[in-house]
A and B are shown apart, each in its own frame.
Chain A
Amino acid sequence: MIRSFGEAALLVELDGPELAQALAASLRADPPAAMLEAIPGLASVLVELDPLHGEADAMAVELEGRLAGLRPREVEGRLHRIPVTYDGPDLDEVAELTGMSRDEVVAAHASVVLRVLFCGFAPGFAYLGDLPDRLRVERLKTPRTTTPPGSVAVAGTMSAIYPAALPGGWRIIGHAALTLFDPRSDRPALLMPGDRVQFEPA
């Protein structure tokens, strides 16, 4: 489904992150005329165009053509094995909410290979999913005004590592010692859309 999103953008809604990443990658590799940027969300791609030099209708036709030939991303991103010290301030509460022991929470969190679904919120912040159903917890009722960098947190079906001190309502179950974002680097973000993450108890 392609929707008009203001006079300078279209939103392409897709069936999931794999298709969204595939479309965004295709558009970045071979940008249509008048396209400025293509940015993936969870199950969509925002396509921005220069409204002075392109018509949204013509862009929508071009995007229909791309979608017809689109396959979920075949090339896997990098696999990151990330050691985590499971000592977060919310670990006990997550155990209580899920009816598991602390060790079972840790085992569940490290049991699956997670995928970078999309990035957003802050530089280097990657939304990882999906967590096993038994680990699902709601966000904190009152978000923290600051969550320390390196915090490994969970909310709903997703997990994330905080790249910097940020406000947040996710529940912190541990921490990882690594740089997720370095603006001075050629590859500023460690985790890119399509990459995979395997957490390992440190």
Chain B
Amino acid sequence: MIEVDEPGFLTSVQTAAGRPGWRHVGVPIGGAVDQWSARLANRLVGNPDDDALLEITLTGPALRILGATTVALAGARFEATLDGLPMATNVGRHARGGSLLRIGRGTGGRCYLAVAGGFVTDRVLGSASTDLRSEFGGHEGRALRRGDRLETGVSAGPLRRWRGTFGDGPIRIVAGVHADGPQQLSGVEWTVSDQADRTGVRFDGAPIVLEPAEVASMALPLGAIQLPPDGRPIVMLADRPVTGGYPVPAVVIQADIGRVGQLLPGQTVRFELVPTDEARRLLREMERELAAVEAIDPSTDDEPGWAGALR
């Protein structure tokens, strides 16, 4: 059981896979914006990839851990302390009953908090993830508030650590279904606007005008780059509406889509067009990274507070 002392900017229960299977009746797939980091967080505490966890946005919550468990943070690096001692990202930790996990500001948009056995909530349409717009799923269909109590599971495998890092190069894209656009998107600088949320990220830069400006509504894959009539591209993320009626000249590759979810307003990025084969190769590389989490040896581990937490 975990109790919310402070909720943070926007903290909600999500799953890596979201809510597949209902898009044909208009239900967005949702789930973690940075799926890869959500899966990593789960693996660090020995959970299956799709266990429910917390998606933490911009500024983190303060959480009282009521019963001894294990916890891990993955995704953007957030300032965090467990009972006053610094808590690193990308490594599983023991937490004793009654301890306070305080998560501060992040160096990127989002991080994920996994606990042993995952957060236990009712599944709605087959998923524990929160649909914040339609207000169902997760914890009462909403972001966490002060005083909320969340049930957590019990079983979990051994703790693990991931020692990798992310590049900060261009966001790679592949061609979409409407011609001309990819070349205009790549090679120039784009600035993340303040319209950046779980639905998508809009970029400011030299507008791209495509003809026709509207197309027959079609279902949109994750990472689709929509070009509305104002010519400012929007990368569509987890909570994107099922269908869209604007041209889609390019799609962010699956290996890089989590990085888009970590961008903060004002940051600048470039897009780089790559062949589809390269996109698949990069995705396999990301899967290998996930498989490269290492078991932790407590006797030699130098994690601050680690030995103390074992008592």
Chain A residues with CB under 8 Å of chain B are: 3-9, 11, 24, 28, 36-37, 39-46, 48, 51-52, 56, 118-127, 163-164, 181, 183-184, 188-189, 192-193
- A-B residue pairs, 6 tightest by C-beta: A120-B243, A6-B251, A189-B25, A41-B218, A46-B219, A39-B219
Q: How far is the CB of A150 from chain B (nearest CB, A)?
A: 16
Which of B72-80, B189-197, B277-285, B294-302 participates in binding chain A? B277-285
Chain B residues whose C-beta falls within 8 Å of the C-beta of A192 in the assembled complex: 24-25
Report Cα–Cα, A76/B22, bound state, in Å.
20
Chain B residues whose C-beta falls within 8 Å of the C-beta of A51 in the assembled complex: 254, 279-280, 283
Report Cα–Cα, A28/B175, bound state, in Å.
26
Which of B52-60, B84-92, B152-160, B220-228 participates in binding chain A? B220-228
> CB distance A37 to B276 under 8 Å?
no
- Within 8 Å by CB of B134, from A8, A11, A183, lies A183
**Residues 265 to 311 of chain B near chain A (Cβ within 8 Å):** 276, 279-280, 283-284, 287
Q: How far is the CB of A51 from chain B (nearest CB, A)?
A: 5
* Count of residues in B whose CB is under 8 Å from the partner chain: 44
> CB distance B21 to A37 under 8 Å?
yes
A41-B216, A184-B124 given; A52·B27 CB < 8 A: no
B10 within 8 A of A: no
Query: Can you sample 26 A-B contacts with CB below 8 Å?
Result: A6-B224, A6-B252, A6-B253, A7-B253, A7-B254, A8-B221, A11-B177, A11-B218, A40-B24, A44-B218, A46-B218, A46-B220, A51-B279, A119-B24, A119-B26, A120-B217, A120-B241, A123-B25, A123-B28, A123-B134, A125-B26, A181-B25, A181-B134, A183-B131, A183-B137, A192-B24
B23 within 8 A of A: yes
Chain A residues whose C-beta falls within 8 Å of the C-beta of B287 in the assembled complex: 52
Report Cα–Cα, A10/B138, bound state, in Å.
31
Residue of chain B at shortest CB distance from A126: B26
> CB distance A118 to B221 under 8 Å?
no
Q: How far is the CB of B246 from chain A (nearest CB, A)?
A: 13
Report Cα–Cα, A40/B24, bound state, in Å.
6
B104 within 8 A of A: no
**Residues 144 to 179 of chain B near chain A (Cβ within 8 Å):** 174-177
Chain A residues whose C-beta falls within 8 Å of the C-beta of B244 in the assembled complex: 120
A6-B223, A44-B216 given; A121·B23 CB < 8 A: no
Q: How far is the CB of B18 from chain A (nearest CB, A)?
A: 11
> CB distance B217 to A188 under 8 Å?
no
Q: Taking each of B26, B176, B251, B284, which has the highest tally of chain A beta carbons within 10 Å of its own beta carbon?
A: B26
Report Cα–Cα, A31/B158, bound state, in Å.
36
Residue of chain A at shortest CB distance from B122: A184
Residue of chain B at shortest CB distance from A120: B243
Report Cα–Cα, A126/B25, bound state, in Å.
8
Chain A residues whose C-beta falls within 8 Å of the C-beta of B221 in the assembled complex: 5-6, 8-9, 46, 48
Chain B residues whose C-beta falls within 8 Å of the C-beta of A193 in the assembled complex: 24-25
Residue of chain B at shortest CB distance from A166: B133
Residue of chain A at shortest CB distance from B242: A120
A5-B177, A6-B174 given; A124·B220 CB < 8 A: no
Residue of chain B at shortest CB distance from A6: B251
Report Cα–Cα, A56/B174, bound state, in Å.
13
> CB distance A52 to B283 under 8 Å?
yes
> CB distance B134 to A164 under 8 Å?
yes
Chain B residues whose C-beta falls within 8 Å of the C-beta of A188 in the assembled complex: 22, 25, 27, 125
Chain B residues whose C-beta falls within 8 Å of the C-beta of A41 in the assembled complex: 216-219, 243
> CB distance B217 to A7 under 8 Å?
no
Chain A residues whose C-beta falls within 8 Å of the C-beta of B22 in the assembled complex: 123, 188
Q: Taking each of A11, A37, A39, A126, which has the highest tally of chain B beta carbons within 10 Å of its own beta carbon?
A: A39
Residue of chain B at shortest CB distance from A24: B24
Report Cα–Cα, A120/B243, bound state, in Å.
5
> CB distance B242 to A119 under 8 Å?
yes
Report Cα–Cα, A8/B243, bound state, in Å.
17
Q: How far is the CB of B49 from chain A (nearest CB, A)?
A: 14
A11-B218, A123-B134, A127-B217 given; A183·B20 CB < 8 A: no
Q: Give a binary string over B13-34; 1 marks a CB under 8 Å from any A CB, 0 the rest.
A: 0000000111111111000000
Q: How far is the CB of B106 from chain A (nearest CB, A)?
A: 28
Chain B residues whose C-beta falls within 8 Å of the C-beta of A181 in the assembled complex: 25-26, 134
Residue of chain B at shortest CB distance from A45: B219
